[in-house]
Amino acid sequence: MSKKDRLSGNEAVANAIRQIDPDVIAAFPITPSTEIPQYVSSFKAQGKLTSEFITVESEHSSISAAAGAEAAGVRAMTATSSAGFALMHEMLYVVSSDRLPVVMAVVNRALSGPININNDHSDSMGSRDAGWIQLYSENAQEAYDNMLMAHRIAEHPDVMLPLMVCQDGFITSHGVENIVLEDDETVKGFVGEYRPDEHLLDPERPIGVGPYGVSPYYMEMKRGQTEAMCRAEAVIEEVSREFGELTGREYGLFEEYRMDDAELGVLCIGSSAGTGKDAVDMLRARGVKAGLVKLRVFRPFPAAKLASALKGLKALAIMDKTDSFSAQGGPLGAEVRSALYQTGVIVPAVNYVYGLGGRDVRVETFEEIFAELEKIADGAPAEAFRYIGVRER
């Protein structure tokens, strides 16, 4: 039976890990994800999970230990943030190319420099093309639920790719919210056991993991990763449907909020969606046909379905909590524009870079954006991208 509780996002994710009880957990502390392995180590000390908990000397070592465990045929997890995530960067490619379904909790924090411990998405977005599935969470409940679904997605035989569950540092990770936890047996039944077809310790089927990718085979290996990522979209939807039937909490590739008749729309990722929904409700009360789309799955990118959800808009704001320094805005802006173009959907769109380094994002921020969208819908030119909430020189 499920139960109600009050937990932070980090506590929620740690409880999900306890319930999953993976074979190996390897972790190194870094703000603001430190609490996750801290709580997990406490569960271990209390005898509440049987996982092998490995304390390592760096984040590079933690992802390496998780990769080795997965190659040996067991379920492995880790957690990190920001500069620790960046230290893993080399190994992220190794894990995905070796098709090791490691699950990692990423508590998003600004990536140096200058050094900053607050939230934006520069860490995970900086490795968006490393071959990992990326799920983003609006709140503690979604972070918990995404973690419960993660292994079912990553370990699916049609996928076999690593997966990161992302949540916003401090905003979600340390903010305490009402949350519903499923009972341990329900979680174990839903997640199931991990029994890979091949692993290093099977004497009957000897294999090699991490071979040198010589030129005649390297492209085929990359093509295999791409095909798995393409298949992951349907698997994510299938697992999410099953989870919804089990818990009553339904998730898709993205969430449409008051989009049925919307003329002005905002697209964003993570905790900002909650603030945006409040703004949409206020504007609706004033007669403005505002709507919001919250993207949950960034990799694989649901281009066709997302473009279909946006096609009725007269103006669109694409909100990036990081800058790609392409002189064209952020990564979400580039992906969405590409999706609109390739599906033939024409919507005037502005890419807003916002919230960097933990800069506050308020209802008033969204009101300002929607006011600008109204002008664009009336024929005003749309900038390619712009910063919002920044002190201008």
Dist. CA 249–CA 221, nearest whole Å: 36
pLDDT on residue 143: 98
pLDDT on residue 317: 98
Quick: pLDDT tens for 206-247: 999 988 999 999 999 999 999 999 999 999 999 999 999 999
Domains recognised in the chain with CATH numbers: 3-247 (3.40.50.970), 254-387 (3.40.50.920)
Q: What is the mean pLDDT of residues 177-185?
A: 98
Residue whose C-alpha is closest to residue 105's, from 177, 39, 158: 39
Q: Would strands 297-299 and 133-136 be described as parallel, antiparallel, or unpaired?
A: antiparallel
Please check the confidence at residue 1 and state whether its pLDDT lies above 90. no
**Would you call 5 exposed, middle or buried from its count of C-beta atoms within 10 A (0-12, 13-18, 19+)?**
middle
Q: What is the mean pLDDT of residues 307-334?
A: 97
Name residues whose C-beta falls within 8 Å of residue 133's C-beta, 6 or more positions apart in sequence: 153, 154, 159, 161, 162, 163, 164, 229, 232, 236, 297, 299, 300
Please check the confidence at residue 17 and state whether its pLDDT lies above 70. yes
pLDDT on residue 392: 78
* Amino acid at position 318, single letter: I
Q: What is the mean pLDDT of residues 34-58?
A: 97
* Amino acid at position 250, single letter: E
Mean pLDDT is lowest, of 59-63, 209-213, 260-264, for 209-213
pLDDT on residue 393: 65
Please check the confidence at residue 261 and state whether its pLDDT lies above 70. yes
Residue whose C-alpha is closest to residue 9's, from 254, 240, 250, 177: 177
pLDDT on residue 324: 97
Average pLDDT over all residues of the chain: 97
High-pLDDT (> 70) share of the chain, %: 100
Dist. CA 101–CA 191, nearest whole Å: 14
Rounded to 5 degrees, φ, ψ at 167 are -145, 155
Please check the confidence at residue 288 and state whether its pLDDT lies above 80. yes
* Amino acid at position 70, single letter: E
From first CA to last CA, the distance across the chain in angstroms is: 56
CB 267 within 8 A of CB 354: no
Residue whose C-alpha is closest to residue 295's, from 385, 166, 172: 166
Quick: pLDDT tens for 83-134: 999 999 999 999 999 999 999 999 999 999 899 999 999 999 999 999 999 9
Q: What is the mean pLDDT of residues 32-57?
A: 97
Quick: pLDDT tens for 328-370: 999 999 999 999 999 999 999 999 999 999 999 999 999 999 9
Whole-angstrom CA distances from 382 to 19, 110, 326, 376, 379 are: 48, 28, 18, 6, 9
